[in-house]
Chain A
Amino acid sequence: MEAVIPAKAGTSGQEDTASLPEVPAYAGMTDEDPVIAGQNKSLLRLLTCGSVDDGKSTLLGRLLYDSKMLFEDQLAALEADSRRSGTQGQDLDFALLVDGLSAEREQGITIDVAYRFFATDRRKFIVADTPGHEQYTRNMVTGASTADLAIILIDARKGVLTQTRRHSHLVHLLGIRHVVLAVNKMDMVDYGRERFETIVADYRAFADEIGIGAFTAIPIAALAGDNIAAPSPAMPWYEGPPLLEHLETVPLAAARPDSGAFHMAVQWVNRPDSRFRGYAGRIAGGSVRPGDEIVILPSGRRSRIERIVTFDGALDRAVDGQSVTLTLADEVDCSRGEVIASIAAPAQVADGFVANLVWMGDEPLAPGRAYWLKIGASMVSATVSKIEHIVEVDTGRPAAARLLALNDIARCELRLDREVAAIPYARGRELGAFILIDKLSHATAAAGMIDGFPRRAALDRGASEADRIVWLNGVAPEERAEVAAKAQQKLQAMGRMSFILDEASLRESLNADLGGDPADLAEHIRRVRAVVGLMSRAGLHVLVAVDVPTAEAWPGRQIDRADLDQGGEAEWVI
């Protein structure tokens, strides 16, 4: 298919290829080096937050420049732009590199989330760049929703400000695991160690208070490039890595192949003909192998994984983050929006959430109005049934509210018109996050993060029957009532319906005809077994506070004193 040289052009053509040099080697590598094929390179998504003029654009421009993502023509354009509208006199104004749309360029503000890319040989970076102006919450939450790491920028002269707290609250709310505190403009404070340490101590006190466990503080000067790509000679007292090195080496949660139990929302049922039926989706947690037992939620149907089908051949294992197509061993019903999960599944079935909502719509929340709610691949109708309180984003403190308007954050209860599979946001973004969509304008009205499930608990069809049965026969009879009540509370908080089967009520009803001789005792135990089995099959967790012999083999778990001592908060019910 090589181009045929047209007669008219080719015959009189001269040769001019001799002077062109061969392509030089890249960093001394052969073409077989994995770097050339882009193997061994990971992906980190990050968010930059800072107030206006803290130097966010400058830092970003710097990172692009120092990781050599700028090309000659872009640099030439930057030089021209810097002369025309820059703020740096003769020097390059890196901030101009990352300015976007023309309207905002003219007004000198950025008004939206922009995504930028840079890379080293080891890692590719996707930066969500959010402006420090109004609409801040909406934009920052959008950028933060996909970020693994947040850089919180501080001006060394100003220290920790109200805005810093706001950014940190949002970073925490969105569950970003890695936080970098970049103390910028160190040149303006004589590269002073004390100033840096004061700011870090201030921030640490605040971070502890709001629950940001760990963060990495780096003193930088974005404009001059100190501690960006290379250690700064002006700050020999700083022993940590420069920013780029830190970003390159921070361990990634997404790169962990074993992130909890397997679950995957079915996006598309692939049925090219009657012989093939595959369930396509992206694995949202854990890993899966052919033969694994699974449950489909919310229906509760069970099956086994038959094959993991991909274009590149069947796999013997697929992990978190991979897009695959699964076939099941049985002909079970499963449609878009349902979740295929391991039978040790943490996903649960609920028709209501307690959640943190970030209001994004220009129109305020209309209480009682129905919105579309999208979670995973399912779309249901939902209403906000209760606004518990608004969270003041600058302080993190709760305040009463009747209404939600743009950029408000609130803890709410939602009611869905049918059941969906979900998990708390803290355990996973894919099934813990949702959006609300205005049914008339189709605008995205809110972002939501599930915090728990309302008191009206649901049947737990995710776990196996035996997993739902807990025998309290190892606990002293006088303690059983209290222990069972605690466990029930715990289950309810997790949105699971339970029943306490206790000796006294059993003896008064079903077993009222039985006495204490061995034959009656055997019959008593037979009935307990039957009742417990029926209840758990129906999806209830059963807490059995009945006298039964400890020596027998029971389906389910037996709890004794030692379990109670270990799992203080009734953790053992899970």
Chain B
Amino acid sequence: MAEQIPLALGFQPRATFDEYWPGANAEPVRHLEAIADGDGERFILLWGDEGSGKSHLLQATCRSAHRRGDSAAYLPLRLLRPLGAEIFEGLDDHALVCIDDLDAIAGQSEFEQGLFGLYNRLRDGNATLVVSAAGPPQQLDIGLPDLRSRLSWGLVLRLVPLDENDTLAAIALYARQLGLELSPQVSRFLLAHCRRDFTSLRHLLERLDRATLAAKRRLTIPFIKALLEELA
């Protein structure tokens, strides 16, 4: 059918396994690492709330498989949806395909049929498929029963939200990656005064990083307060 649409889909530079704080999610992470090593399950559905790190882990899996010499494709559906159901074509020769945000196309029959076809082709070709979604297969708004039953056939894994200590550890890890010095007091302040999902916290840290660089100041609580007031 159609040639694969050339996509400029780089992975986020920091999306690696090392830079993910697993908290209580060691089991899903280990399964994905095994897939990246070419020695894992054939099909995984990874689900969890927004900000639980699904995109990060899918990219880390692709990147790691790619480094090992496997061809891997990462498809963020929320981003690719405008291109139509043809995004599922031309992927048959990959050893690993990671599809992010299944929810973005759930209920849209052309996309569902496209993904169903891709699933069958990858299965026949002995390739691996990882799909991420906001919920388990039974809860997704999928119209095609054939697709839903295939999604529940594989290993379904949940990313649980990080508890307070793990969130503190995760933002400390992320700040270190940015080269940002984050005292325990500052971490706790962020947790108490800002949205606690990890995506929001990560964006805030990036913002703080840029602001401290621009102002040539250290990251202190008064500095954050001033910035938050400015943002509000």
Binding between chains A and B? no
**Interface of A with B (CB < 8 Å)?**
none
**Interface of B with A (CB < 8 Å)?**
none
